[in-house]
Amino acid sequence: MAFDYDLFVIGGGSGGVRAARMAAATGASVGLAEDSRMGGTCVIRGCVPKKLMVFASGYGETPADARAYGWDIPDGVFDWQPFRTRLNTELDRLEGVYRQLLSTSGVTIHDARATLDDAHAVRLSTGEVVTARHILVATGGRPERPDSPWAHLGIVSDDIFQFDRLPASILIVGGGYIACEFACILHGLGVRVTQFYRGAQILRGFDDEARGLVSEAMRARGIDLHLGTDILDMRPAADRPDRIGMGAPEQEPAPALASGGKGPVWVKGSNGHEAMFDTVLFATGRAPNSRGLGLEAAGVTLGRGGTIAVDAYSQTSVPSIYAVGDVTGRVNLTPVAIREAAAFVETVFGGTPTPVDHSLIPSAVFTQPELGTVGLSEEAARAQEPIEVYCTSFRPMQTAFAGRPDRVLMKLVVSQASRKVLGCHIVAPGAGEMIQLAGIAIRMGATKEDFDRTVAVHPTMSEELVTMRAPVRKA
């Protein structure tokens, strides 16, 4: 049977674009459909704009720090409008880069929604039906609203980048990395931030000691963090009870935000805390973009929550259909989607079956301070085997000189039997940069003694990783 394409990719995010370009480089004919902006979640409404907002939010402390170092710099006021304009210009540029990369690679772009007709046929929203020897689904994920009667009164993370202006106050519901990152970002930009999380501690799944320090730092900076707390009641401002806490507010919050915001709301927490907020952000989870693609009709098996079930080579239950990235629910990180895409091309078009190893993946949470991690947490390692823990926490030189109380954490989790470093956890400014390099050593199987033999770079925060000689505890 003759096909229109050797490969048709559904989704123009990081994984889909990488797979399309690499497959085209092998001489395959490739088509790609995207019904939104090219670049996907990471480039348009995720990693990239979020990190630029992280940078912006960090400058608020600069004047005070600079004055401690002798600079005569006055405090400033953050202006959302020029930043937002520049941010959108940058995202437009990056989307253009993605389109150019696909075009110069010989990939045919379809600006349309694509659904599956069968194992080899894709139907486009333009009405066209194309056929392909192989189909790759790389549609990513989306923020999910909670199943509650007031979910429509709040916004989700995608809406943050579309604010016409910043709210004066916000309630963030959730305790994962997205919730915590935006709590720090918005606080740094001058928004009064309250955060509710129903769990006992934020950042579930990360090392307990590391996430505890991040939680303390967020509170010390002024984020009103309520743990063990969920929304008990939530209403539009006009429907609020007559009295809120000690009394009715003297001034109404700002009117509904021109884009994204649902207007001022009254919220009562399960801990009894009551307040008015300009807006509420639900950061309570993400779901795979698998709905309405025709997957089940085509015979593709779906897993829990709508994830696409795949094997080690990203192949679905239908041999001609593959899936990579967040839609598979394996490890929802952009570099992982890119790695899965590359492995898919090596397997299908390179003649070399290549599984993806999802172990020892470094990651970072861009809170203030950042959390960088690779390998096992102390808790997970302790459950696996006898371990030693090497750990230190201290005030870094730069901010200590400026009189700030900030603390950082450097931690290694080591196997007693093999002496291999099983996990590394860093809480510090620039932890994301540090953990990338530590990840190389740990991926190579470095032992604690390999770290010990490495000469320190002084004076740096990261030198502590190679100067800790005695374990603080064994388990």
Note the pLDDT tens digit of each residue in 107-130: 999 999 999 999 999 999 999 999
Domain boundary among 348, 372, 393: 348
Do 168 and 248 lie in one domain? The reply is: yes
* pLDDT given for residue 261 in this prediction: 58
Domain total in the chain: 3
Which residue type sits at 132?
A
Residues catalogued as catalytic: 458
Do 44 and 76 lie in one domain? The reply is: yes
**Is residue 339 situated within a structural domain?**
yes
Nearest to 55 by CA among 360, 294, 461, 368: 368
Do 292 and 244 lie in one domain? The reply is: no
370 contacts: CB under 8 Å, gap ≥ 6 = 364, 426, 427, 428, 429, 430, 431, 432
**Is residue 15 situated within a structural domain?**
yes
In whole angstroms, give the CA distance from residue 231 to residue 267.
Answer: 7
**Is residue 353 situated within a structural domain?**
no
Do 25 and 132 lie in one domain? The reply is: yes
Domain boundary among 282, 309, 324: 282
- Which runs of E-coded beta strand occur in 297-407? 321-323, 363-365, 370-375, 387-394
Do 452 and 381 lie in one domain? The reply is: yes
Do 262 and 292 lie in one domain? The reply is: no
For tokens 């070399």, name the residue. 352
Q: What pairs with residue 280 in β-bridges?
A: 171
Do 260 and 328 lie in one domain? The reply is: no
Do 15 and 106 lie in one domain? The reply is: yes
Do 130 and 183 lie in one domain? The reply is: no
Q: What pairs with residue 268 in β-bridges?
A: 233, 274
Do 304 and 263 lie in one domain? The reply is: no
Which tens digit of pLDDT belongs to each residue from 67-78? 999 999 999 999
**Is residue 355 situated within a structural domain?**
no
* pLDDT given for residue 243 in this prediction: 52
Do 159 and 211 lie in one domain? The reply is: yes
Which residue range(s) make up the domain with 320? 5-142+287-348
CATH code: domain of residue 267:
3.50.50.60
Quote the pTM value.
0.94
Which tens digit of pLDDT belongs to each residue from 370-387? 999 999 999 999 999 999
Domain boundary among 265, 282, 299: 282
**Is residue 354 situated within a structural domain?**
no
**Is residue 358 situated within a structural domain?**
no
Do 400 and 468 lie in one domain? The reply is: yes
Nearest to 402 by CA among 75, 64, 79: 64
Low-confidence ranges of the chain (pLDDT < 70): 242-261
Radius of gyration of the CA atoms of the chain, in A: 24
Which tens digit of pLDDT belongs to each residue from 325-341? 999 999 999 999 999 99
